[in-house]
Structure 1
Amino acid sequence: MPETSRRHLLLGGAAVSAGALLTACTSNEPKAQDAAPAGSAAPAADDKPGTPVTIGFAGPQADHGWLNAINDNAERRAKKYSDVTLEITEGSNDTATQIGQVQTLINKKVDVLVILPADGKALTQIGLQAMKAGIPVINLDRIFASPQAYRCWIGGDNYGMGLNAGNFIGERLKDKPNATVVELAGMDSLELTKQRTQGFDDALKNYPNIRKVARQAADFTVESGQAKMAQLLQAQPKFDALWNHDDDQGVGALRAVAQAGRKDFLMVGGAGAKSAMDAIKADSSVLKATVLYPPTMAASAIDLARALGQKKGVGGMSELEIPASITLYSAVVTKENVDEYLPTGFS
């Protein structure tokens, strides 16, 4: 997941992707398709093909539910367009390998590149190289160190995730004296984890009756979620709410909660996994909400790349060019609205 900054253009709207805007990226706007598969963006469809565009896609290694959904969204979206050819690399979390893969795409002279870098800072030079070679880059989620390394950045709002999770919990506990909360964070070595925590802490400042009493960092895996949650439960025999940064590690966290027989608090997850949405809909566990970090951004990145290749702007906006940056909104999914967001849930 990404190392993003809050300096980007905020486009408020549901995390079913920037679909309403971006599927109209070109004048040959797609017509409606069948319902999208779970974990994918609102459907793009094809009417008249435009200028053929070859898009090079360098994505991550699919070793996490969210990352797998990123790759799936990109491939599915590209297949919707008869005028798009997708040159896709084998995903890698190794920076040297990914640099080599992007270099190959540059040598093939693709029209546009979509890159979710394993490490934004480490891959900045290859982004710069592509841009200097006249190949525009859509920087997906993990941001390059220089804005000159990409034409457009699109990604999620890590600070907004924490902020919205904190506000949801705050509203649920605002009338409870001396309420306490705990946090199951992601990897503390990642900037995104710090941003999610900062957003959460800033939201809690609006609720003086609520105090955060514990925090554990996990590793975005089921196993780490279970182990770290077990430690939290043992150290904190009573608290009122839990903010968990990631739904994959949340699977393990829920296992630890069930094993401990705890039902005395509410839990808010993060990212938008289908398993989390199913649990929210069933309303049979402590999980009451999840804050989205939509992998549908990869489908929107393909829309943007197609628009760039066809020299089009974004439908619904007056400008002739696509934006320089787009930050997706971190919607809160609850029992009341889960049916709306279920189609975007990823496995």
Structure 2
Amino acid sequence: MQLKRKTLFGAGALLLGASLLFTGCSNGGGSGESTSPEAPDATGDSFVVGYAGAVQANPNNKAIEDAMRAMVESEGGEFIVTDANFDTSKQFSDVQSLINQEIDVLVIWPLDPLGIQPAIEQADAAGIPVIVQDTTDGGPYASNFQVTNYESAESAASLIEETVGPNAKVAQIEGLPIVGVLDARNRGFAAGAEALGQTILASQINELDSADGARPIVDAWKSRFGSEIQAIFAYNDQSAIGAASAKSDDFNPIVIGMNGDSDGVAAVKDGRMLATYDFHPVQMGAGLGWAAHQLVLGETLPETVVLEAAMITKDNADQWIPVDEWLKKSFDVSIEDVNGTSMLKVTERG
């Protein structure tokens, strides 16, 4: 690609530190893989990060955005965000708009990883490195930051077995499979259920992506299967809440959601849901903003960086910290090699 800057500040990947709130970052040695060989045309004190958001009305996505903005601005950069609102065509034009604004780094959670490729190639041709979320298809990318979506959904099947016993009969509310992160959740749970001998009696996509969209799906299952359904897995908390609202004396499956948002955690606490998964959106946003700054400084990033999700049940729900509280905190950010996997470590400063 034609690079916006010919000078290479540095190479080598990362065991690096930064603070989320109004403090700088420090550089150190380490090892890893890089797909971004040179720095963009900016200095560490003056740079622009563009974020092509997918659905910013989603609380988790908004938390990622807010934390990324805080990190970028704390390092002296400018942060520009767009919102595709689940529209793949708009996300394509959003990326082109960000390129025209001469950003130095593009961060994107692609709604359609393959469909967005021409825009990614335009960014590459302009010398703009690209960091993606939960995306392995396409490229070239400086790095892919992903959460353990597949593994977490897979573990939900194990939780069902622990709760209702072996060979459970389950139902699955799926997310739109064109969205990589949702497809990973869909596939992860299906694989986990199959491995444990569970029977998926029914599965359906919640095209409305809301509790209101999930409720009629579950009502139909209730009429068809009744108490035969022992558990329902939903790809997000709102769908799980919609599923739980269909419960009755003669229809009482356990319900598991994902995202760990405030509504989901409240439903776990009051017993409507058995569990949800916290994907640490503030920590992910801090990591993405920090990583964008590292590219500006000429550092390299591992090809894939993983942030591990956490299961939330009644046993630990009281320890959950709301997003607005996380956003007030200061963090150290690093990437550490754990058994050959580059893990994102975001820890609160004491």
Aligned positions of 1:116-155 closer than 5 A: 116-141=109-134, 143=135, 145-148=137-140, 150-155=141-146
Report Cα offsets for 1:186-245 as digits up to 9, x if no partner: 23555555533332233234534x433332332221211111111122222213222111
Q: CA deviation at 1:280?
A: 1.4
170, 179, 193: which one pairs with 1:204?
193
What is the CA–CA distance in structure 2 between the aligned matches of 1:100 and 1:212, rounded to whole Å? 39
| Residue of structure 2 in register with 1:68 after alignment | 62
Aligned positions of 1:301-340 closer than 5 A: 301-312=288-299, 321-340=300-319
Q: Contact 1:25–1:304 (CA<8 Å) still a contact in 2?
A: no
Q: CA deviation at 1:66?
A: 3.6
Q: Name the amino acid aligned to 1:303.
A: W
Once structures 1 and 2 are overlaid, which stretch shifts more, 269-278 or 189-198? 189-198
What is the CA–CA distance in structure 1 between the aligned matches of 2:250 and 2:272, rounded to whole Å? 8
| Residue of structure 2 in register with 1:157 after alignment | 148
Q: Percent identity?
A: 25
- Sort the Cα spacing of 1:240 and 1:110 in 2 relative to 1 into closer, same or farther, 3 A: same
What is the CA–CA distance in structure 2 between the aligned matches of 1:190 and 1:113, rounded to whole Å? 19
Structure with the larger RCO, 1 or 2 (CA within 8 Å, 6+ apart)? 1
Q: CA deviation at 1:144?
A: 6.6
Q: Name the amino acid aligned to 2:154.
A: L
- Sort the Cα spacing of 1:240 and 1:104 in 2 relative to 1 into closer, same or farther, 3 A: closer
Q: Contact 1:65–1:248 (CA<8 Å) still a contact in 2?
A: no
Following TM superposition, where does structure 1 have runs of at least 4 consecutive aligned residues deviating by more than 6 angstroms?
none
Q: CA deviation at 1:180?
A: 2.3
Q: Contact 1:74–1:302 (CA<8 Å) still a contact in 2?
A: yes
What is the CA–CA distance in structure 2 between the aligned matches of 1:95 and 1:241, rounded to whole Å? 33
Where 2:21 maps in the other structure, the secondary structure is coil
* 2:155 counterpart of 1:168: no
Q: Name the amino acid aligned to 2:162.
A: E
Q: CA deviation at 1:124?
A: 1.2
Q: Name the amino acid aligned to 1:299.
A: A
* 2:281 counterpart of 1:295: yes
* 2:244 counterpart of 1:254: yes
Gaps of 5+ in 2: 1-13, 26-43, 327-350
| Residue of structure 1 in register with 2:52 after alignment | 58
| Residue of structure 1 in register with 2:40 after alignment | none
Report Cα offsets for 1:305-330 as digits up to 9, x if no partner: 01111234xxxxxxxx3211123323
226, 235, 247: which one pairs with 1:237?
226
* 2:161 counterpart of 1:185: no
Where 1:253 maps in the other structure, the secondary structure is helix
Where 1:270 maps in the other structure, the secondary structure is coil
- Sort the Cα spacing of 1:247 and 1:48 in 2 relative to 1 into closer, same or farther, 3 A: closer
Where 1:72 maps in the other structure, the secondary structure is helix
- Sort the Cα spacing of 1:139 and 1:245 in 2 relative to 1 into closer, same or farther, 3 A: same
TM-score, length basis structure 1 = 0.73
Aligned positions of 1:39-118 closer than 5 A: 44-48=20-24, 51-79=45-73, 81-118=74-111
Q: Contact 1:263–1:286 (CA<8 Å) still a contact in 2?
A: no
Higher strand share: 2
Q: Name the amino acid aligned to 1:98.
A: Q
Q: Name the amino acid aligned to 1:125.
A: P
| Residue of structure 2 in register with 1:9 after alignment | none
- Sort the Cα spacing of 1:262 and 1:116 in 2 relative to 1 into closer, same or farther, 3 A: same
Q: Contact 1:247–1:272 (CA<8 Å) still a contact in 2?
A: yes
Q: Contact 1:155–1:326 (CA<8 Å) still a contact in 2?
A: yes
